[in-house]
A and B are shown apart, each in its own frame.
Chain A
Amino acid sequence: MAEYLIKNGFVFDPVQGIKGDKTDVAIKDGKFVETTAVKNPKVIDATGKTVMAGGVDIHAHVAGAKVNVGRSFRPEDKLFGFKAGRGIERMQGGFSVPTTIKTGYDYARMGYTTVMEAAMPPLYARHTHEEMRDTPILDQGAYPVFGNNWFVLEYLKNHEIENTAAYIAWLLRATKGYAVKVVNPGGTEAWAWGLNCENVHDPVPYFDITPAQIIKGLIEANEYLGLPHSMHMHANNLGNPGNYTTTLDSFKLSEGIKPNNKFGREQVMHHTHVQFHSYGGDSWANVESKAKEIMDYVNSHDNMTIDMGQVTLDETTTMTADGPFEHHLTELNHLKWANVDVELETGSGVVPYVYSPDIKVCAIQWAIGLELALLATDSMRVFLTTDHPNAGPFIRYPRVMKWLMSQESRDQQFDAFKHKDKVIDATNLAGIDRELDLYEIAQMTRAGPAKSLGLAHMYGSLAPGLEADVAVYDFNPNEPYAPDTIETAFSNARHLFKTGVQIINDREIVSNGNKRTLWVNTKVNENAQVMRDVKEKFLRYYTVTLNNYEVSGHYLPNPYVIEVDATQ
């Protein structure tokens, strides 16, 4: 493999504590190495440019059944988003739900190299893997959903942590999944009868269990197994005025639980798209930001991480396994609604949405997301996401960076709101003058998510021994800049390397890379009861046979397996 030396760039690497120093970065055999270890490297001149590890996205909806519903039922999303194939690039289309091919290229253009699909219904795992296979460049993994799974509901009703853990291990293997995802625990099962669970103590119909028991039980099972990532949580009551109390109630369920893993992860709960969970008030008329209350909790509890779910003020396509929420949304905006309930496992919905700067609530949502990041005392635990495509498409990450790094750009946005004064009243953002620097951005987009995922040994830093994923941006941090420069520079990486292969050269995509699918193979003690339960459920209630359920290796042409031994 070719050797490379990226010379003279301003390097930002939180893991190594490098804060914009001029440092050379060397690549050999797909890994970062000491600069002395390369003999005859190809030199990339990064003078006056910013150098960071490849971006790691902890939470995005980029592959699978509901994403494809979003694509196929919104031809209007392709109107302005198409791009003809050129060179090695295949044709691309879509804006808020781009085609798999566009997804790979667009992330690469932003300097991202690893992206996790945030919700995989197990029965649709093959579909998710087929799409990931057809997404170029990126290393990807997918989180199967567990929070409404009948096995989990039944085991946790009796607090059977070991059985839950054995089932999780089995399902991760069967679906080639990466982590334990929970979406509206209990609420989506209730939705199968047109109902919901709106707080952590609302009982799940028939199953005689509460969301609180599900959340706590899954955290415990996750730590019992010692998985690389923590339980990945989307709480009940998403998107409703006054929901911050439900969010805090959900956070508190992690108290007293210590992380148990060999991957350097320090949290036991990752709570995703917290912006959607930080609302005060009791109606859309008086909805207000509770980001401060939320961040007070997060800042003082180091066993959790969160991501933002930043609203980007675009027309987009919402999609989530929170079926009742999507029904609620279609009642609200009267746009088209797709819903799929998945036997024994989960549900989902898809609804287009327009976050208009002329609508007060949308502007408040915009402010809340930024508040979360700006009130964080530890950027290693608060990550940049848009919950793509729910709060906005991922291609807006550089714009979110701009807002985080520049008060001027936030003021400009405030001025563009139709209800500026009401938005200022309902939020705290106007009173925050903090501007993040690139070191903090690197924490929020690289080092932090990699660590939270238990992948700090592979991604998120330029330290020797790690995967050689690195982006070079046309941005000189030592010179004065206009806010828009940030967005332009970080949307168009000058160079990008993925595991040592040059993907972008002079802003041109020159390789489709050698993408890998990450999944977690967990060894557990033999558990006859769980295997008997699995057989029984498949025989009686599933519509595919047990032997046709497991995703075969055929769907993962280039797998990367993370082995976990939980037999002790």
Chain B
Amino acid sequence: MTKTVTDVICPFCGTLCDDLEVVVSDDGKQLLEVYNACAIGAEKFLHSQAEDRITRPRMRQEDGSWKEITYDEAIEYTAKMLVDSKKPLMYGWSSTNCEAQATGSELGELVGAVMDNTATVCHGTSLIAVQDIGIPSCTLGEVKNRADRVLFWGCNPAHAHPRHMSRYSIFPRGFFTGKGHTGRKVVVIDPRPTDTARVADVHLQVEQGRDYELLSAFRIAFRGEKLPDVVAGIPKEQIYEAAETLKSGRFVIIFFGMGVTQSLGKNHNIDIAIAVTRDLNEYTKAAIMPMRGHYNVTGSGQVWGWQFGFPFAVDLSRGFARYNPGETTANDLLRRDEVDSVFVLGSDPGAHFPFSSVKKMYDLPSVAIDPHETPTTEVCKVHVPVAFVGVEIGGCAYRMDNVPIETRKVVEAPEGMMTDEEFLDRVLARVKEIKGV
């Protein structure tokens, strides 16, 4: 007999769908089917069943080969590495639960680490913009129930957040949006003709890197002022028309992604997009929301927010929390040789950081905590496989609109495997022992 677990939360992206159904074997050890999830989410669950999964920590040898070690040995290596470092970098935290993040923060505090999360290479710029100008936003249910104007800007949910459009933004019928997608006007601003652009009413194919100009033109158009004939590759008539479409809505939502957070302009792009949203609130109701990637990158920003006061790039090395993106961000530290060891949990900088940073990681004492084999695990000295959060252990995660949801355990982890939190707890205890506190 099999059993079906309902209301399962998907630990893949910031959409954090919570309506999955997972079929597991009677003994709870095997995960058989995943329903309602997108292809990527389903794969995340099913991947936990891979037969070649690594289930024990391993240490790289001089000749480059791996040697299996015990969890105790991995804990000892990690604790010593952190205690011996003047300024360790503890990076990642986006694919784990808030409980592990909270324990990790305590550990970081004790060893004087720099804590950074994946926002540093995705929505960190958005967080900086919010510090400049604020952010009028809402929960995704407000979008579902009220939004009649939806703007996707520099993002492609059709591929990156596959169920976003059907659960929240374009297709669902909500309380005041009974006609579903036919009651909504969808605008996409993107230099690429993406699959999201294909379902839009209007696609403004902005010239690469000229988003700031286009957004600025929107602010001018709202006020009925004059525009040049073409701005950022878009004829002014189209801009006036799109601006009017937004102004005439009852509830406008702007979603934005890494197409603008990490292109030229960075936080300034987001500044002006938020200013556009503020402007729209003079005429109607408008909100804006970053399309957060990892399922709990938002959570790590929240945990550090309440523990340290900053959402990313938190430098604890002086005994109190400091924050200065550009100085205390992971890549800047690595490339300036300012950290002397690297601890990675819940992300894959090996795949996403510039090669010069990855090379530094390779040269330093380093530990990667990850259920998968990744480019990061391949450049670290020690790889500690752990249970999948949201599959083999529950815990709190924050959706892209900052709504916290408790993820569920649906299947047993392979025997003898630790969770992130257990591993961090053990390292914390060992660090306290070594430091005599």
| B-chain residues with CB within 8 Å of residue A126 when the two chains form the complex | 396, 404-406
Beta-carbon contact of A343 and B127 below 8 Å? no
Using known A-B contacts A342-B142, A548-B405, determine if residue A78 contacts B310 with beta carbons closer than 8 Å. yes
Taken residue by residue from 68 to 89, chain A's Cβ proximity to chain B (1 for < 8 Å, 0 otherwise) reads as 1001111101100011110000
Taken residue by residue from 212 to 246, chain B's Cβ proximity to chain A (1 for < 8 Å, 0 otherwise) reads as 00000000000000000000000000000000000
**Nearest chain A CB to B280's CB is how many angstroms away?**
9
Distance of A126 Cα from B395 Cα, bound (Å): 11
Beta-carbon contact of A124 and B404 below 8 Å? yes
Taken residue by residue from 169 to 194, chain B's Cβ proximity to chain A (1 for < 8 Å, 0 otherwise) reads as 00000111000000000000000000
Let me know if B197 is at the binding interface, CB within 8 A: no
Let me know if B326 is at the binding interface, CB within 8 A: no
Let me know if B2 is at the binding interface, CB within 8 A: no
Let me know if B281 is at the binding interface, CB within 8 A: yes
Indicate the member of B133, B137, B309 with the most A CB atoms within 10 Å: B309
Using known A-B contacts A100-B307, A548-B9, determine if residue A338 contacts B141 with beta carbons closer than 8 Å. no
CB-nearest residue of chain A to B19: A545
Binds B, one of A127-135, A419-427, A472-480: A127-135
Let me know if A337 is at the binding interface, CB within 8 A: yes
Using known A-B contacts A327-B281, A340-B139, A547-B6, determine if residue A99 contacts B307 with beta carbons closer than 8 Å. yes
Beta-carbon contact of A338 and B142 below 8 Å? no
B interface SS class: mixed
CB-nearest residue of chain B to A88: B437
Let me know if A481 is at the binding interface, CB within 8 A: no
| A-chain residues with CB within 8 Å of residue B106 when the two chains form the complex | 90
Using known A-B contacts A124-B403, A124-B404, A192-B285, determine if residue A336 contacts B133 with beta carbons closer than 8 Å. yes
Let me know if A172 is at the binding interface, CB within 8 A: no
Indicate the member of B109, B133, B142, B306 with the most A CB atoms within 10 Å: B306
Distance of A218 Cα from B89 Cα, bound (Å): 52
Let me know if A404 is at the binding interface, CB within 8 A: no
Let me know if B319 is at the binding interface, CB within 8 A: yes
In A97-133, the 8 Å CB interface with B consists of: 97-101, 123-124, 126-127, 130-131
Distance of A351 Cα from B9 Cα, bound (Å): 33
Distance of A191 Cα from B168 Cα, bound (Å): 20
Distance of A123 Cα from B9 Cα, bound (Å): 16
In B313-363, the 8 Å CB interface with A consists of: 316, 318-321, 323
**Nearest chain A CB to B400's CB is how many angstroms away?**
11
Indicate the member of A74, A94, A338 with the most B CB atoms within 10 Å: A338
Beta-carbon contact of A543 and B141 below 8 Å? yes
Beta-carbon contact of A71 and B305 below 8 Å? yes
- Contact partner of A338 among B134, B139, B251, B305, CB < 8 A? B134
| A-chain residues with CB within 8 Å of residue B405 when the two chains form the complex | 126, 544, 548
Taken residue by residue from 33 to 77, chain A's Cβ proximity to chain B (1 for < 8 Å, 0 otherwise) reads as 000000000000000000000000000000101011001111101
In B18-32, the 8 Å CB interface with A consists of: 18-19
Distance of A92 Cα from B167 Cα, bound (Å): 40
Distance of A339 Cα from B131 Cα, bound (Å): 13
Beta-carbon contact of B134 and A99 below 8 Å? no
Distance of A562 Cα from B400 Cα, bound (Å): 34
Let me know if A354 is at the binding interface, CB within 8 A: no
A interface SS class: mixed
In B385-430, the 8 Å CB interface with A consists of: 394, 396, 398, 401-406
Using known A-B contacts A130-B396, A339-B136, determine if residue A91 contacts B316 with beta carbons closer than 8 Å. yes
Let me know if A344 is at the binding interface, CB within 8 A: yes
| A-chain residues with CB within 8 Å of residue B140 when the two chains form the complex | 343, 543
| A-chain residues with CB within 8 Å of residue B9 when the two chains form the complex | 548
Using known A-B contacts A193-B251, A343-B144, determine if residue A94 contacts B309 with beta carbons closer than 8 Å. yes
Beta-carbon contact of A68 and B306 below 8 Å? yes
| B-chain residues with CB within 8 Å of residue A131 when the two chains form the complex | 306
Let me know if A520 is at the binding interface, CB within 8 A: no
Indicate the member of A124, A194, A335, A547 with the most B CB atoms within 10 Å: A194
Beta-carbon contact of A192 and B146 below 8 Å? yes
Let me know if B264 is at the binding interface, CB within 8 A: no
In A323-343, the 8 Å CB interface with B consists of: 327, 330, 335-343
CB-nearest residue of chain A to B395: A554
| B-chain residues with CB within 8 Å of residue A552 when the two chains form the complex | 406
**Nearest chain A CB to B270's CB is how many angstroms away?**
13
Let me know if A242 is at the binding interface, CB within 8 A: no
Let me know if A542 is at the binding interface, CB within 8 A: yes
Distance of A243 Cα from B106 Cα, bound (Å): 47
In B241-256, the 8 Å CB interface with A consists of: 250-251
Taken residue by residue from 272 to 296, chain B's Cβ proximity to chain A (1 for < 8 Å, 0 otherwise) reads as 0000001001001101000000000
Let me know if B138 is at the binding interface, CB within 8 A: yes
Distance of A436 Cα from B18 Cα, bound (Å): 55
Beta-carbon contact of A74 and B131 below 8 Å? yes
Let me know if B302 is at the binding interface, CB within 8 A: yes
Distance of A340 Cα from B400 Cα, bound (Å): 13
Indicate the member of A63, A92, A341 with the most B CB atoms within 10 Å: A341
- Contact partner of A342 among B139, B146, B285, CB < 8 A? B139
Distance of A484 Cα from B342 Cα, bound (Å): 50
| B-chain residues with CB within 8 Å of residue A187 when the two chains form the complex | none
Beta-carbon contact of B301 and A72 below 8 Å? yes
Beta-carbon contact of B319 and A84 below 8 Å? yes
Let me know if A350 is at the binding interface, CB within 8 A: yes
Beta-carbon contact of A338 and B137 below 8 Å? yes
Beta-carbon contact of B310 and A343 below 8 Å? no
CB-nearest residue of chain B to A331: B282
| A-chain residues with CB within 8 Å of residue B132 when the two chains form the complex | 336
- Contact partner of B402 among A93, A127, A193, A336, CB < 8 A? A127
CB-nearest residue of chain A to B8: A548
| B-chain residues with CB within 8 Å of residue A83 when the two chains form the complex | 320
Beta-carbon contact of A541 and B320 below 8 Å? no
Beta-carbon contact of B127 and A340 below 8 Å? no
| A-chain residues with CB within 8 Å of residue B308 when the two chains form the complex | 91, 93, 99
Beta-carbon contact of A72 and B127 below 8 Å? yes
Distance of A42 Cα from B131 Cα, bound (Å): 50
**Nearest chain A CB to B36's CB is how many angstroms away?**
11
Indicate the member of B6, B135, B251 with the most A CB atoms within 10 Å: B135
Beta-carbon contact of A134 and B102 below 8 Å? yes
**Nearest chain B CB to A157's CB is how many angstroms away?**
15
Distance of A336 Cα from B132 Cα, bound (Å): 7
Let me know if B202 is at the binding interface, CB within 8 A: no
Beta-carbon contact of B402 and A554 below 8 Å? no
Distance of A555 Cα from B106 Cα, bound (Å): 18
Distance of A13 Cα from B292 Cα, bound (Å): 53
Distance of A545 Cα from B406 Cα, bound (Å): 12
Beta-carbon contact of A93 and B138 below 8 Å? no
Beta-carbon contact of A336 and B142 below 8 Å? no
Beta-carbon contact of B309 and A78 below 8 Å? yes
Beta-carbon contact of B142 and A192 below 8 Å? yes
Let me know if B262 is at the binding interface, CB within 8 A: no
Using known A-B contacts A123-B403, A126-B404, determine if residue A341 contacts B310 with beta carbons closer than 8 Å. no
In A174-195, the 8 Å CB interface with B consists of: 191-194
| A-chain residues with CB within 8 Å of residue B310 when the two chains form the complex | 72, 75, 78
Using known A-B contacts A93-B320, A547-B6, determine if residue A194 contacts B281 with beta carbons closer than 8 Å. yes
Beta-carbon contact of A71 and B287 below 8 Å? no
- Contact partner of B138 among A194, A341, A555, CB < 8 A? A341
- 10 A-B interface contacts by CB (under 8 A): A99-B307, A127-B402, A130-B404, A337-B133, A337-B136, A338-B136, A338-B137, A342-B142, A343-B145, A347-B138
Additional A-B contact list (9), CB under 8 Å, known A72-B301, A192-B285, A545-B7: A72-B127, A72-B130, A123-B139, A127-B398, A192-B146, A338-B130, A341-B287, A343-B139, A541-B145
Interface residues, chain B, CB within 8 Å of chain A?
A: 6-7, 9, 18-19, 98, 102, 106, 109, 127, 130-142, 144-146, 167-168, 174-176, 250-251, 278, 281, 284-285, 287, 301-303, 305-311, 316, 318-321, 323, 394, 396, 398, 401-406
Give the top 9 A-B pairs by smallest Cβ distance, nearest first. Answer: A343-B141, A336-B134, A84-B319, A126-B404, A194-B285, A339-B136, A341-B138, A547-B7, A72-B305
